A and B are shown apart, each in its own frame.
Chain A
Amino acid sequence: MRGPIHTWLALALALILAVVVGACAGHDWATPADLWRAAAGDQALRSRLLVDWRIPRVLAAALVGALLGLGGVVFQGVFRNPLAEPYLLGSAGGAALGATVALLVPLAMPQSILLPLLAFAGAWGATVLVIGISRVSGAVDAAGMLLAGVAVAAILGALRSFLMLALSDETVSLQIVLSWVLGGVQTPTWPVLGLLALISAGCLGLTLLLAGRLDVLGLGETMAVAFGLNVTRFIAVAVLAGSVVVAAAVAFGGLVAFVGLAAPHIARWMVGPLHRPLLPATALVGAIIVTLADAIARAALPPAEIPLGLVTAVAGGPFFIMLLARRLRT
């Protein structure tokens, strides 16, 4: 890991701070002292609620943020475009369609397996579709791919809405599907949280394996080939890996917009564009963003909870517009 050591310390400290703030926030605010008591094994009801509900939720939010960040780095690296984002390019939409099918269509498989599987298939299919459309139409440049992604995302969104209208009845709750679409971290049990942590660590390892080749691809296709990269095969592999990451993020956090866009940018300002330091830095930044956004989602309008995806969209939309304006100027 390169980059100055104080940058990493600052990121780690900021994440710890964000987790503490997140654990305190809620419609019933806790103090850090309450957290300390609960963590120490206090059996009072308030402490038990903190340990069983709020702390796992906050940690899950951090992990989902890390996954969204990693997905963003991989997609920006593959598309060689800092405006690429899983949410904009349709792969998150594909994952959400897969998840919707898993939730609404009665299939002969337990939902806990079906949902991540279909989410992955959706994310991968949508991304391959976007790359295919932009290749066939000859618009392999960034703008062409973004437009293809927007179109695919719109179609997938319409399909998902149709499925929700056609298939939901009294037995299947629309509420669950809606909470996916709008983005929101479910409160996991501690074993599920452990599983999520394992998946996140696996995704970090998986994307780190791509880091050196993502750097080479960033030199442009001609130089990447000249430097010995099999570009076509690598892009296929990287898209597959990126889809795994996006599917994991969507399976646990629903459709959360703009984190995959903003987190890599902020991390790039801090550690530079080389992917080996960028990936872990982006995971940390993504974790901080989603932890704080989730805290806002839970605490802003008590007792109601605002969907997480709305919070990140309201904050991330202007960020995207700013980046777009800056790019169009240059």
Chain B
Amino acid sequence: MTRLAADNLVVRRGGATLLDDLSLSLGTTGSVAIIGPNGAGKSTLLKVLAGIEKPSAGTVRVGDHDLASLSSTSRARTIGFLPQYFDPHWDLTVQELVRLGAERSDHLTVDAVDKVISTFELGGMDRRRWSTLSGGERARVLLAAVLVVDPPVLLADEPAASLDIRHRLDVIETLTRRGNDRLSVVVVHDLDLAFRFFERVIVMDRGRIVIDAPADSLIEDRRLDAVFKVRFERLKTPDGPLLRAMRDQP
């Protein structure tokens, strides 16, 4: 069954084509990584799928509905979006931020806020203000605020990129674990994490999808080298191959 689908998406901004006739179909469950070089259109695709940016042409379907015809509140309840950068203008407390996320849904109880605060281990810091939090704490708070309504679809734009490796693993594992019973789509810059943790990997380049395949078969695909303009050495490890990028000698 299809949960989220894109049909012939085109996005043009100021003469540049960011998405070039892109189509994509995503199921109701699964963890999907989107990878690709800078400027491939990964963030743009995610924002269009989340309904944050409007495409110049093409449609996004959520279940049986056209995303554009959905009210903004029901869209916000169905699709959770984690941005690449988040910096609130006012210095709110952890609890206030989570509660703002919870207000997307009208039938959420106070319990839901308390529950998500304990799930993400924010209990001791729920009265602390955003400016006093570390990067890892901020990532957990943002996850809690987005996931408090338990949206069936989660779109995340590499929310862990600036964290240290342990926090990055924490965040990536939280996101992929959601793929067991929900749809979880994540833009990932670390190829190792993408191939190790996700079921399906989508490779983008210049506004198009170049490869879309299960992670374990894709890692051997030579087209990866061309997309990233490097030569990958596939190192054998007990857990499968590991990519090491080498400068592509002419």
Contact (Cβ within 8 A) A274 B89: no
Binary contact readout A200-227 vs B (1 if CB under 8 angstroms, 0 otherwise): 0000000000001001101110110111
B86 in contact with A223 (CB, 8 Å): yes
Instruction: Please give me the residue from chain B that is nearest to A230 by CB atom.
Output: B72
Q: CB-nearest residue of chain B relative to A215?
A: B100
* CB-based A-B contact count at 8 angstroms: 64
Give the docked Cα–Cα distance between A212 and B96 (Å): 11
**Proximity string of chain B (69-109) to chain A, C-beta cutoff 8 Å, 1 when within and 0 when not:** 00011011101110100111111110011001101100000
Which of the listed residues B79, B88, B89, B146 has the most CB atoms from chain A within 10 Å of its own CB?
Answer: B89
Asked whether any CB of chain B lies closer than 8 Å to the CB of A229, the reply is: yes
Task: Tell me if B73 and A228 are in contact (CB < 8 A).
Answer: yes
**B100 to chain A: which residues have CB within 8 Å?**
215-216, 219, 227
| Chain B proximity of A226: nearest CB distance (Å) | 4
- Asked whether A274 lies within 8 Å of B76 as measured between CB atoms, the reply is no
Contact of A226 among B52, B88, B92, B97 (CB under 8 A): B52
Interface size for B (C-beta < 8 A) is 28
Pair B88/A228 contact, Cβ less than 8 Å: no
User: Size of chain A's interface in residues, with CB distance under 8 A?
Assistant: 19
Interface SS majority for chain B = mixed
- Contact assessment for A222 and B104 in the assembled complex, using a CB-CB cutoff below 8 Å: no
The answer to whether B83 touches A227 (Cβ under 8 A) is no
Q: Are A226 and B77 in contact, CB atoms less than 8 angstroms apart?
A: no
Whether A220 contacts B89 by the Cβ 8 Å rule is yes
Q: Counting CB contacts under 8 A, is A125 at the interface? A: no
Kindly identify, within residues 215 to 251 of chain A, every residue whose CB is under 8 Å from any CB belonging to chain B.
Answer: 215-216, 218-220, 222-223, 225-230
**For chain A, what secondary structure do more than half of its interface residues adopt (helix, strand, loop), or is it mixed?**
loop
Which of B79, B83, B89 lies in contact with A222, CB distance below 8 A? B83
Asked if A218 and B83 make an inter-chain contact with CB atoms under 8 angstroms apart, the answer reads no
- Contact B72–A225 (Cβ < 8 Å): yes
Minimum distance in angstroms from B63 CB to a CB of chain A: 17
Q: Are B96 and A274 in contact (CB under 8 A)?
A: yes
Closest to A212 in B: B103
Residue A316 at the B interface, CB < 8 A? no
**B241 CB–A CB distance under 8 Å:** no
Nearest CB of A to B177, in Å: 21
B86, A220: Cβ atoms closer than 8 Å: yes
Query: Which residue on chain B has the smallest CB distance to residue A222?
Result: B83
Q: Does residue A273 face the partner (Cβ distance < 8 Å to B)?
A: yes
Q: Determine whether A272 belongs to the interface, using a CB cutoff of 8 Å to chain B.
A: yes
A80 within 8 A of B: yes
B152 within 8 A of A: no
- Bound together, the chains give a CA A215 to CA B97 distance in angstroms of 9
Complex Cα distance, B87 from A212, in Å, reads 18
Closest to B76 in A: A228
| Chain B min CB distance to A136 (Å) | 15
- A28 CA to B101 CA, complexed, in Å: 56
B72 contact set on A, CB distance < 8 A: 225, 228-230
User: Closest chain A residue to B142 by CB distance?
Assistant: A223
A226 & B81 in contact (Cβ 8 Å cutoff): yes
Question: Is A80 a contact partner of B86 (Cβ separation < 8 A)?
Answer: no
Task: Provide the bound-state CA to CA distance between A163 and B52, in Å.
Answer: 46
Expressed in whole angstroms, the Cα–Cα distance for A80 and B103 within the complex equals: 20
Any chain A CB within 8 A of the CB of B50?
yes
Please tell me if B27 contacts chain A, counting CB pairs below 8 Å: no
CB neighbours (8 Å) of B87 from chain A are 220
Closest approach, in angstroms, between the C-beta of B65 and any C-beta of chain A? 15
Which of B83, B91, B93 is A223 in contact with, Cβ under 8 Å? B83
25 residue pairs bridging A and B, Cβ less than 8 Å apart? A81-B89, A215-B90, A216-B103, A218-B88, A218-B89, A219-B89, A219-B100, A220-B83, A220-B86, A220-B87, A222-B47, A222-B52, A222-B81, A223-B86, A225-B72, A226-B50, A226-B52, A226-B76, A227-B76, A227-B104, A228-B72, A228-B77, A228-B104, A229-B72, A274-B90
Instruction: Report which B residues bind A (CB closer than 8 A).
Output: 47, 50-52, 72-73, 75-77, 79-81, 83, 86-93, 96-97, 100-101, 103-104, 146
Contact surface of A with B, Cβ cutoff 8 Å: 80-81, 212, 215-216, 218-220, 222-223, 225-230, 272-274
Q: Apart from A218-B90, A274-B96, list 4 A-B contacts with CB within 8 A.
A: A215-B96, A216-B103, A226-B80, A226-B81
